[in-house]
Amino acid sequence: MVKQITYFINKISFISGEVYSMGRHHEGQLGIDQLTTHLNQPTLIPNLSNIVDISCGNHVSFVIDRSGKVFSFGAGTSLQHGHGNNDIKVPRMMSSKYIDIKAVVNIAIGAQHTLFLTHDKPNKDEN
């Protein structure tokens, strides 16, 4: 069952625990390496599971898994995917001293920036 559809410019991603993408691929925003043509039908992005939310920009995409970890992919020109200025063509988990201690619950993408809504991860003793 499709839980969410996100659309921006030429790209649509579908979510039901797994993520499918379609549209233009030049900067890696579809999350599928080795593409030589744009995708005109939904195609599974490998190695993503338990995804609960997605957010797509013009040239970058983000997914959040059940534990609040964020994976990003796409153009690095404006640094908004969190992995430097190189294009990321397969989903890569974001990591920093701040994001590693939080659980991300929502993402908003602008033209050249990204915002994260977070909450504290529960202590292991509280589980």
CB of 65 closer than 8 Å to CB of 50 = yes
Least trusted range by pLDDT, from 23-27, 63-67, 101-105 = 23-27
CB of 35 closer than 8 Å to CB of 45 = no
Output the CA–CA distances (angstroms, integers) from residue 44 to 4, 64, 126, in the order listed: 15, 16, 36
Confidence of residue 9 (pLDDT cuts 50, 70, 90): very low
- In the predicted structure, residue 95 carries a pLDDT above the cut 80: yes
Confidence of residue 6 (pLDDT cuts 50, 70, 90): low
Across the beta sheet with 4-8, the strand order is 4-8, 11-15, 19-23, 39-44
More confident residue, 91 or 83: 91
Confidence of residue 15 (pLDDT cuts 50, 70, 90): low
Q: Report the distance separating Cα 47 and Cα 44, nearest Å.
A: 9
Winning range, highest mean pLDDT, from 68-72, 83-87, 122-126:
68-72
The arithmetic mean of pLDDT across residues 98-102, rounded, is 88
- In the predicted structure, residue 78 carries a pLDDT above the cut 90: no
Q: What pTM was computed for the model?
A: 0.81
